[in-house]
Structure formats: C-alpha cells, structure tokens
Amino acid sequence: MNDRLFKSIGNIGDDLIEEAEESAVKQHFRNKKRKKATILKFMPLVACFAIIFCMIPVAFHTVNDNYSGDDLNGVETSEYPGNYDGLTLSKVIIHQKNPGEVDKVFTDKRILQKVELFIQSEHSMKKTGIPFRDIHDILADDFPTYDIPSGGSENCDPSTVFYVECTFLDGKTYSFCVSAKGYYWEEKLSEWMILANSPIVSYLANLISSSEE
C-alpha cells in the first residue's frame, strides 16, 4: 500500500476539492443529461425544418423553370420536368437540324414514353456529375460498334442529325439534337455527344430514321 500517495492527494488545491463537492458533481451531471435530452428532444423538429427548408427551392423550381435544352445542363434531378412514375410528355416534334423544318409530330403514347425515358436517362447521367467528354470516352470503350466520331461534328453526317422538341403536359418544352447514330449535339460544348443509355438512343435514332422515310 502506498500511504504517502493516498495522503498526498490530500494536498490538492482547495478549489479542486470544492469543485468536486457532491452537490456540484450532481448538478454537473444532471445538466449534462438535461442538455443531451434537450438535443434529442428537438432532433425531430430540426429534422423537419431541414426537410422543409430543402423542399422549398425544389417546389419553386418545379413551378417556375422553363425547360429548355440549355437548362438541362447541370440541373438537379428534382428540377427535371418529367414525372418518373408516369408519362408527362404530350407531344414530340422531330425537325431536321434546322428547327424550322418539321419532319414529324409524335403523339403516340408508346413513342412518347420512349422519348421521355431517353430524356430521363440523359438527365440521370448529368446528375452523376461526370463531364460529357468522359462519358463519351467511357461509352466509346463500351460500345465500339457505335463508331463514335473522334474529332467532333466534322465526322458526323449532317443528314442524320435531327432536332427534337418535346412538349410536356403543362405546355413547357425541352429541346435537344440527336443523330441517327445515337449522338446528340451538345450546344454548350458545340460537340457531338453520345448519351448514357445507348439502347434508347438507338431506339430514338431508329425512330427518327423511320420518321424520315
């Protein structure tokens, strides 16, 4: 037994002895418990506020945004005009590259659904934040049969390029360009790009090709 060590603890400062006085210790731990309980009590309320706070901008965007092709660059999924659970497109017009020349107007639900899936797919790809150039390279490896042009628009046949104008049920529109081979014209980058889910691109390209006939 180390008597002197036990005794020497008796030489600690008066303030330390007073600090550890029973009522002070009880009060300290009671306050700590109360503080913890208060935080836990208000957690659901804080969470509710956080959710509401996050929802406000989403709601405003949904109401106010005009969905042009340019708007889709870099926007969040929540801003996407389409409803993932059902069809929201009312009409799809396919032009030649020049928007003034209308080739065909689609109102058939089956086709509208496919076009909408196509837009959603493109949007999902943008949501990942991967630059278009990288996507282009990745897809070039995955789908070599698409024969992706390496240099840009000069390698594409302009006769296979179409301008697609989608009209939603609420009257808003979303436009983009697509080629018969599955590329689309990225206005901001001024480059031909391939879209994320190639089978749908392929379908759309075929759709456009058939509309041309």
Partner 1 sequence: MEDGLIIDLYFERNERAIYETDLKYGKKLIGISKNITESNSDAEECVNDSYLATWNQIPPTRPSNLFAFLCRIVRNISYNRFHMNTAKKRNASVSSLCEELNALIPDPNAVLPEEENLGKAIDRFLRDFCDKENRMLFVRRYFYADSLSDLAKMTGLEEAKLSLRLHRIRKKLKIFLEKEGFTV
Binding residues for partner 1 (CB under 8 A): 1-22, 24-26, 28-30, 32-33
Tell me if 177 sits within 8 A of 161, measured CB to CB.
yes
Nearer to partner 1, 16 or 52 (CB): 16
How far apart are CB 2 and partner 1 at their closest, in Å?
Answer: 5
Q: Hey, CA dihedral for 56, 130, 199, 67, is it positive or negative?
A: positive
Query: 175: which 2 tokens?
Result: 């436009």
Nearer to partner 1, 17 or 43 (CB): 17
What backbone phi and psi angles, to 5 degrees, belong to 131?
-60, 150
How far apart are CB 39 and partner 1 at their closest, in Å?
Answer: 17
Nearer to partner 1, 12 or 105 (CB): 12
How far apart are CB 23 and partner 1 at their closest, in Å?
Answer: 9
Nearer to partner 1, 25 or 46 (CB): 25
Nearer to partner 1, 12 or 46 (CB): 12
How far apart are CB 3 and partner 1 at their closest, in Å?
Answer: 7
Nearer to partner 1, 37 or 105 (CB): 37
How far apart are CB 83 and partner 1 at their closest, in Å?
Answer: 53
How far apart are CB 28 and partner 1 at their closest, in Å?
Answer: 7
Mapped onto helix, strand or coil, the DSSP state of residue 174 is: strand
Token look-up 């889709």 returns: 72
Cβ neighbours of residue 81 closer than 8 Å, sequence gap 6 or more: 62, 65, 67, 88, 168, 170, 172, 174
Q: What is the DSSP code (8-state) at residue 21?
A: -
- Distance (Å, rounded) from C-alpha 159 to C-alpha 114? 23
Mapped onto helix, strand or coil, the DSSP state of residue 42 is: helix
CA distances from 188 to 54, 92, 116, 166, 192 (A): 29, 22, 22, 19, 11
